[in-house]
Copies of this chain bind each other. A is one copy, B any other.
Amino acid sequence: MFSKACEYGIKAAIYITQNSLLNNRVSLKEIAAEIDSPVAFTAKILQDLARNQVVTSIKGARGGFEIHNPGELKLSQIVKAIDSDDVYKGCGLGLVKCDELNPCPIHDKFKVVRENLKEMLENTSLKELALKLDDGTTVLKI
């Protein structure tokens, strides 16, 4: 469904959010350890998310990553930044564009699923996901 980069990006963002809600800035190393991802690859993804204003990066000693508006940040913004919005907007059979006027054979049925995914991604905030981590009701790794 999502690329590895996107999976890491979402998990990282949730972990950063969990800590930012406590005014706790976190480092790349800590993030990678907590979400069980390759450190340098995660660095690239976080740079990408920083360029897209999803996370804020602070350089230098005691630097790290923060997220300032986790209540407003939706999963869709992360997916779009990393994977493009094709997964929740594109044609399921890879036609260049999902076009109502020239639909592919699965269009009608696929559209429902895709809209469902789109709604979910657009209505799920980082904050609510981070709160479930606090609960201990969910996990970011094994």
Hey, which bits of chain A sit against chain B, CB under 8 A? 1-2, 4, 7, 10-11, 14, 75, 87, 90, 92-96, 102-107, 109-110, 112-114, 116-117, 120, 124, 129-130, 132-133, 137-142
Contact A132–B120 (Cβ < 8 Å): no
Cβ of A119 to closest chain B Cβ, rounded Å: 9
* Identical copies of this chain, number: 2
Contact B105–A14 (Cβ < 8 Å): yes
Q: A2-B92, A93-B10 are in contact. Are A109 and B120 (CB under 8 A)?
A: yes
Which residue from chain B places its CB closest to the CB of A3 in the assembled complex? B94
- Name 25 interchain pairs, CB-CB below 8 A, sorted by A: A1-B114, A2-B92, A2-B93, A2-B94, A4-B94, A7-B92, A7-B94, A10-B93, A11-B93, A11-B104, A75-B106, A93-B140, A95-B139, A95-B141, A95-B142, A103-B139, A104-B139, A105-B130, A105-B132, A105-B133, A107-B138, A109-B124, A112-B120, A113-B117, A116-B116
